[in-house]
């Protein structure tokens, strides 16, 4: 079970002081937060992708590479990588490069984002959001899994004899989670590829996410990747803690009441009742999140949102300290009790390399077959034909489109 922090990278006025941090301060704060996440024994730091104020994280790979150079074991992830408006070729290159720089300590959450105007900013049509997500991800898989790719699709220029560089570290691409708040087609996509499914789990009642996760588990088994219980699930969450629960409520209320994301709506008490937001003592957080598997089944990753709504850095670091020293050690034990042996651990690069090669070596050099020169087609290279799409799949055409033009 992996635990960590995810940030949406908002720049928000502190309602208790009236101060608004600068972009420079928030960027440096994110690095400090990530380092502290590792220091207190948590596993993952994830950052979102936004291209508009009041957010600063327009280049997650740059930020994560910088953090990677200042950490040792921390898994670096995105809270969202925009599969609809980023070029799949650039995603393939950037995240493979990040793999190499961090020794494989990287995975990512694919998503469509929550900002409609981002589509025309990058030359796309929001009405094509789902088809873009399907086609772009199918191409990304090709680019990572094949040394030489021929491709023709609807949304970008064709590729002939193209080799994405660098190749994935050890021949094993980064693990991908597909993130969704409300879209069953994304749960289906995650299931089709045997990837992970990350449920945001911060804005809606549990019944909403139960339906999405149940669909993902069912379809994961349908496509032959394992049993529903072996599907790879991640959850988001929100907490704010103090030794005394009323002190936590008093301290957090002004931030909740004024937050652009959920302020001026339901009361703090109502929001806690409706969603996993938990404001109280460490024990209350333990009790609430130890019960998550009763709602969703055994899962692999739990991330918490903590550095938002204008909370100052000092407070965020204190919250992470409580989480890492008082809450997560207990949750690790609680969630391990009666966990079935067949439920897989959270994916890591080392484990995935071992699964492919069987030797357990994560740093052994892997030969790459002779690749194309990105200019001409042909020449001696090894290529593996795409597997036929499973029957009943909504993604068969996109996943095998390249075979039609070979």
List, for residues 164-200, the tens digit of each pLDDT value.
Answer: 999 999 999 999 999 987 789 999 999 999 999 999 8
Averaged pLDDT for residues 28-37: 98
Averaged pLDDT for residues 26-50: 96
Q: What is the DSSP letter of 40?
A: T
Residue 327 sits in a domain of what CATH number? 3.20.20.30
Residue 78, classed as helix, strand or coil, is: strand
Q: What is the mean pLDDT of the chain?
A: 88
CA distance linking residue 238 with residue 6, whole number of Å: 10
Averaged pLDDT for residues 296-311: 96
Please check the confidence at residue 56 and state whether its pLDDT lies above 50: yes
Count of domains observed in the chain: 1
Residue 162, token pair as written in the block: 């193209």
Averaged pLDDT for residues 328-348: 96
Write the CA distances from 239 to 63, 124, 266, 306, integer angstroms: 24, 36, 17, 7
pLDDT at position 125 is 76
- Residue 252 · residue 366 · CB < 8 Å: no
Please check the confidence at residue 380 and state whether its pLDDT lies above 60: no
Q: What is the DSSP letter of 16?
A: T
Peptide bond into 213 cis (omega under 30): no
pLDDT at position 367 is 46
CA distance linking residue 278 with residue 280, whole number of Å: 6
**Per DSSP, which regions of 242-300 are E strands?**
278-280
Domain of residue 330: give its range.
Answer: 2-405
pTM of the model: 0.88
CA distance linking residue 334 with residue 324, whole number of Å: 15
């Amino acid at each position: 079970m992996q635990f960590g922090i995810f940030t949406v990278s908002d720049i928000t006025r502190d309602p208790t002081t009236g101060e608004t941090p600068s972009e420079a301060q928030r960027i440096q704060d994110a690095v400090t937060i990530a380092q502290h996440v590792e220091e207190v024994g948590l596993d993952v730091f994830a950052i979102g992708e936004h291209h508009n104020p009041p957010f600063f994280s327009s280049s997650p790979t740059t930020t994560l590479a910088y953090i990677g150079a200042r950490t040792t074991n921390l898994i670096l992830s995105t809270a969202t990588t925009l599969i609809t408006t980023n070029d799949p070729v650039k995603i393939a290159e950037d995240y493979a490069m990040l793999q190499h720089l961090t020794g494989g300590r990287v995975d990512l959450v694919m998503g469509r984002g929550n900002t409609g105007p981002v589509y025309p900013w990058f030359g796309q049509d929001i009405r094509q959001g789902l088809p873009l997500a399907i086609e772009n991800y199918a191409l990304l898989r090709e680019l990572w899994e094949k040394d030489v790719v021929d491709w023709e699709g609807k949304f970008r220029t064709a590729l002939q004899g193209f080799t994405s560089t660098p190749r994935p570290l050890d021949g094993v691409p980064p693990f991908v989670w597909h993130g969704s708040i409300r879209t069953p087609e994304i749960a289906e996509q995650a299931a089709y590829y045997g990837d992970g499914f990350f449920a945001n789990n911060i804005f809606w009642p549990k019944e909403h996410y139960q339906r999405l996760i149940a669909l993902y588990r069912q379809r994961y088994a349908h496509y032959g990747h394992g049993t529903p219980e072996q599907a790879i699930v991640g959850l988001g969450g929100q907490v704010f803690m103090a030794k005394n629960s009323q002190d936590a409520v008093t301290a957090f209320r002004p931030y909740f009441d004024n937050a652009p994301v959920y302020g001026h709506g339901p009361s703090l008490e109502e929001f806690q009742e409706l969603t996993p937001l938990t404001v109280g003592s460490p024990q209350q957080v333990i009790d609430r999140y130890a019960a998550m598997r009763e709602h969703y089944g055994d899962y692999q990753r739990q991330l918490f949102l903590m550095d938002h709504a204008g909370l100052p850095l000092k407070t965020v670091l204190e919250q992470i300290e409580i989480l890492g020293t008082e809450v997560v050690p207990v949750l690790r034990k609680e969630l391990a009790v009666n966990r079935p042996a067949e439920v897989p651990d959270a994916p890591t690069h080392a484990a995935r390399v071992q699964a492919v090669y069987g030797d357990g070596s994560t740093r052994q050099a892997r030969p790459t077959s002779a690749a194309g020169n990105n200019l001409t087609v042909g020449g001696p290279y090894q290529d593996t034909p795409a597997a036929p799409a499973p029957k009943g799949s909504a993604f068969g055409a996109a996943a095998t489109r390249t075979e039609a033009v070979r």
